[in-house]
Amino acid sequence: MLDPYKIREDFPILKRKINNHPLIYFDNAATTQKPRQVIGAIREFYEKYNANVHRGVHTLSQEASELYENAHEEVAKFINADGTEEIIFVRGTTEAINLVAYAWGLRNLKGEDEVLVTLMEHHSNIVPWELLSKINGFQVRYVDVNPDGTLNYEAFGNAISEKTRIVCMSHVSNVTGAINDVKKVAKMAHEYGALVLVDGAQSVPHLPVDVKDLDVDFFAFSGHKMLGPTGIGALYGKREILMEMEPFHGGGEMIRDVTFNTITRRCSISWNDLPWKFEAGTPNICGGVGLMAAVKYLRSIGMENVKEHEETLTEHAMHRTQECGKVKIYGPRDASVKCGIIPFNVDGLSSHDVALFLDGYGIMVRSGFHCAQPLHEVFKLKSSARVSFYIYNTREEIDRFVEVLKEIERI
């Protein structure tokens, strides 16, 4: 079991007061706070190792390149990928999904083909497919969810067919925290010859993830939601699929040769090895270094412990909020089938009003659609407020939150 009080010592921001109250940070599904170890790694990179990667023979460039490559290696180990070749660094989950859409989908989807997307997806796993379908003319089909927002596997079974080319699903819903049975979906998808792309933005930070065991083809996640800096994330892809794919962006770093034929006056280009073929231009080197520090930090805690801690907090929050008669919670209530995310509303108030009131007491929660408007439409909600927990949150913070909710109800 992890000790959140000890962990809190590593997070300078948690010492802040907001509106004269101790900061309670419950917006972890949007982004997490950063420990000294991550901030220190970024600072150390700029103070000691800063140089461009893969371009110089000089010492600094060699050292920066080694750090950047080690970062790929650490991320690969963290999700049990088969080494750096399968880990492409990107800006985050959004860019990872766009990479798959444009580098794979643009060339492989057309006419009668179908892309299956669940109704619980974040907009970043909906909009790229809708955009691409306008270019290539394939169908985007939406898979229903149950009334509590969990995936409807029967509906999935009915929707999948020989026309399905790729299934795009989140591992964990960023609205309800519900954990999807990715392994089961991947097995069904593969029986139909379809690929599986998983949005792991809300799973990699919160539970142990093993991409080989899940047997998925692509897996996307963001560094900033797992203690790392913004602007860095990763796309895992099975090596044999990435080998077949053409690049996403063109430019420096991603090529092996660009030769110019003086007679035809054309260039012929060959691609670099994986994963660099997909990392055009100067990458976010210090972001990679920061992500490596975040991964090491999480590994030192143990992802089983992270999951267990969030489960305990979620159970406590579910139990305590029962004292608030005007608070309605959405999604599954059983903490063991979800991560530490709880969407809710207070009768008669907009989610923004609730979030503003809580902010007055130093409690940071999200309000709105959380970039998942279709799921809110299924729930027939205009919006929701959302608390989301992480390793540094405590039961006392939840107790304080419930006290303030009661204050809102009174007013």
Ligand X SMILES: Cc1ncc(COP(=O)(O)O)c(C=O)c1O
| Residue closer to ligand X, measured from CB, 29 or 160 | 29
- State the nearest-atom distance from the C-beta of 292 to ligand X, in Å: 18
| Residue closer to ligand X, measured from CB, 277 or 386 | 386
| 94 interacts with ligand X by CB under 6 A | yes
- State the nearest-atom distance from the C-beta of 243 to ligand X, in Å: 25
Contact 146, 156 (CB under 8 A): no
Choosing from 28, 33, 93, 180, the residue that interacts with ligand X (CB under 6 A) is 93
| Residue closer to ligand X, measured from CB, 94 or 351 | 94
Segment near ligand X (CB under 6 A), from 99-107, 158-166, 196-204, 241-249?
Answer: 196-204
Segment near ligand X (CB under 6 A), from 19-27, 43-51, 198-206, 271-279?
Answer: 198-206
| 124 interacts with ligand X by CB under 6 A | yes
Pure H helices in 137-248: 153-159, 182-191, 211-214, 239-244
Contact 335, 308 (CB under 8 A): no
Q: How far apart are the first and last CA of the chain?
A: 38
Contact characters 208-247, ligand X, x per CB under 6 A: --------------x-------------------------
- State the nearest-atom distance from the C-beta of 399 to ligand X, in Å: 27
| 92 interacts with ligand X by CB under 6 A | yes
Environment class of 59 (CB within 10 Å of its CB; exposed 0-12, middle 13-18, buried 19+): exposed
In the beta sheet, which residues pair with residue 195? 166
| 203 interacts with ligand X by CB under 6 A | no
Tokens 């660094």, located at residue: 89
Ordered DSSP codes for 266-293: EEEEEEPSTTGGG--SS--HHHHHHHHH
Segment near ligand X (CB under 6 A), from 38-46, 63-71, 199-207, 270-278?
Answer: 199-207
Which helix (DSSP H) or strand (DSSP E) does residue 295 occupy? helix 285-301
| 343 interacts with ligand X by CB under 6 A | no
Choosing from 32, 65, 84, 170, the residue that interacts with ligand X (CB under 6 A) is 170
> How remote is the C-alpha of 72 from its chain's centroid?
17
Tell me how far apart the alpha carbons of residues 201 and 83 are, in angstroms, rounded to a whole number: 20
| Cβ count within 10 A of residue 247 | 19
Amino acid identity of 267? Answer: C
Provide the annotated active-site residues.
371
Pick out residues in 308-337 that bind ligand X (CB under 6 A): none
| Residue closer to ligand X, measured from CB, 31 or 136 | 31
| Residue closer to ligand X, measured from CB, 33 or 174 | 174
φ and ψ of 68, to 5 deg: -65, -40
| Residue closer to ligand X, measured from CB, 228 or 275 | 228
| 98 interacts with ligand X by CB under 6 A | no
Contact 26, 389 (CB under 8 A): yes
| 199 interacts with ligand X by CB under 6 A | yes
Contact 355, 405 (CB under 8 A): no
Pick out residues in 22-51 that bind ligand X (CB under 6 A): 29-30
Contact 401, 387 (CB under 8 A): yes
| 290 interacts with ligand X by CB under 6 A | no
- State the nearest-atom distance from the C-beta of 13 to ligand X, in Å: 19
- State the nearest-atom distance from the C-beta of 174 to ligand X, in Å: 3
| Residue closer to ligand X, measured from CB, 202 or 393 | 202
| 284 interacts with ligand X by CB under 6 A | no
Choosing from 201, 214, 242, 245, the residue that interacts with ligand X (CB under 6 A) is 201
Please give, one letter per residue, the 3-state secondary structure of 319-377.
HHHHHCCCEEECCCCCHHHECCEEEEEECCCCHHHHHHHHHHCCEECEEECCCCHHHHH
Binding stretches for ligand X (CB under 6 A): 29-30, 92-94, 122, 124, 170, 174, 199, 201-202, 222, 371
